[in-house]
Amino acid sequence: MTGRLIGIDHGSKRIGLAVSDALGIVARELAIINRGKREDDFETILRVARDQRAVGFVVGVPHNPNAPDGVRAQADTVKRWIARLAEHTNLPIAEVSEYLTSVEARDLARQHNRKPDEPIDDLAARIILQSYLDAQSYASATNVAGQEPRI
């Protein structure tokens, strides 16, 4: 995808948003949405996407390799939310693992001198989006070299 992307960190209380530059090189934190009604959340996200002239979304999915089969995990909740978001937009939605993004976001928050009790959802969204951009860049570079990407 070429153009700005919106990174999303889905949480039960807040939704973190990040945006990429138009070239898909770097992500920056954008906003934190306090969760409300699902429809209101979608309306806010889609408005931000329009304002940013986004061409797609990247949503972090919290995969838990230790979750037993048949047990409903947070990843299932996020995937259902993504499916509902898809009903409200024609923009493509990519899913990426958000494994350990909270730890990275806390480290980033300290670097930005955020208070320990401040929300970090926007930073988590930035990390999710940046990891996607980096993977896409790597895949493009290896394809240019005539090799298959190892992602």
pLDDT in tens, 72-123: 678 889 999 999 999 999 999 999 988 667 777 788 778 888 888 888 889 9
20 part of a folded domain: yes
Question: Any idea what the CATH number is for the domain that residue 57 is in?
Answer: 3.30.420.140
Tokens found for residue 136:
């896409």
33 part of a folded domain: yes
User: Per the structure, how many domains does the chain have?
Assistant: 1
151 part of a folded domain: no
38 part of a folded domain: yes
Q: 121 with 26: CB under 8 angstroms? A: no
Q: Which helix (H) or strand (E) holds 19?
A: strand 14-20
150 part of a folded domain: no
35 part of a folded domain: yes
50 part of a folded domain: yes
Query: Per-residue pLDDT tens for 111-141?
Result: 888 888 888 889 999 999 999 999 887 666 5
149 part of a folded domain: no
> What's the pLDDT at 149?
45
Residue predicted with more confidence, 65 or 71 = 65
| Full residue range of the structural domain in which residue 90 is found | 4-144
Single out the residue of 104, 54, 98 nearest to residue 79, CA to CA. 98
